[in-house]
Amino acid sequence: MAVGNAKTLTKFIVVTLGMFGFGFALVPFYYKICEVTGINSGAEQSLAKNTQVDTSRWVTLEFDASINEALPWRFKPMQRSLKAHPGQLVQVEYEVTNTSDHAIVGLAVPSYGPARAAAFFNKIECFCFTPQTLAAGESRRMPVLFVLDPAMDRDVHTVTLSYTFFDAAAKGQASGSQKGLPRG
């Protein structure tokens, strides 16, 4: 009987020590599980992921800039074109320079081609929302932040965003509502 008990005791001690080791083995095991399943990695938090991006198609975006002939400014996009998924947040920049010797207030008006894409072109940040005052010879880079709505028709493969800068004062005279704008 005593021999049997000693044998059983040995077995249980081995199990006990094994389980003590298992407690520590859970550490690498935990990190491996997290790595394999991609949980808890910190860089890729599942909550922060944008699920609205339509990765099944690309849309070519073209950027165009022009100046109303009365305005002595130079205006150009920093990039001519790029490709993006609908739903993806895109940021581009335009550069504008006042080439005259006095400060001028300008206002940019966007247009879209094809025109039916306009309803799906959601601008979040744009210099066209406010009149821009540039001092003599001043140059400025201005961002445009936008998302193409994934609901946009699938047969639209290229969208052109075109801005035209007008002299805000001249526009004001035409509409009669911008008289109060500062000048020179």
Partner 1 sequence: MSDAAHAHDDHSHGHPTGIMRWLTTTNHKDIGTMYLWFALIMLFSAGTMALLIRAELFQPGMQLTNPDFFNQLTTMHGLIMIFGAIMPAFSGFANWQVPLMLGAPDMAFPRMNNWAFWMLPVAGLMLMASFLLPGGAVAGGWTMYPPLFIQGGISYDLTILAVHIMGLSSIMGSINIATTILNMRAPGLTLMKMPLFCWTWLITAYLLIATMPVLAGAVTMLLTDRNFGTHFFNAAGGGDPVMFQHIFWFFAHPEVYILILPAFGIVSQIIPTFARKPLFGYASMVYATASIAILSFIVWAHHMFTVGMPAAAQLFFMFSTMLIAVPTGVKVFNWVATMWKGSLTFETPMLFAIAFVCLFTIGGFSGLVLAIAPVDIQLHDTYYVVAHFHYVLVSGALFSIFAGIYYWLPKWTGNMYNETLGKWHFWLSVIGMNLVFFPMHFLGLAGMPRRIPDYALQFTEFNQIATVGAFIFGFSQLLFLAVVLKTVKGGEKASSRVWEGAEGLEWTLPSPAPYHTFETAPVVK
Under the rule (CB under 8 A), what is the footprint of partner 1?
1, 4-5, 8-9, 12-13, 15-24, 26-27, 30-31, 37, 39-40, 46
Q: How far is the CB of 53 from partner 1 (least distance, A)?
A: 21
d(CA 90, CA 100): 32
d(CA 12, CA 22): 15
Q: How far is the CB of 35 from partner 1 (least distance, A)?
A: 12
Nearest residue (CB) to partner 1, 46 versus 111: 46
Reported as half-sphere exposure (CB side, CA atoms, 13 A), residue 75 has a value of 24
Nearest residue (CB) to partner 1, 9 versus 145: 9
By CB atoms closer than 10 A (0-12, 13-18, 19+), residue 68 is: middle
Q: How far is the CB of 158 from partner 1 (least distance, A)?
A: 39
Helix (H) or strand (E) holding 76: strand 73-77
Q: How far is the CB of 12 from partner 1 (least distance, A)?
A: 4
d(CA 59, CA 86): 7
Supply the DSSP string of 115-132, one letter for each residue: GGGGGGEEEEE-GGGS-E
Tokens encoding 177: 């509502």
Q: How far is the CB of 8 from partner 1 (least distance, A)?
A: 5
β 158-167/139-148 pair status: unpaired
Nearest residue (CB) to partner 1, 27 versus 115: 27
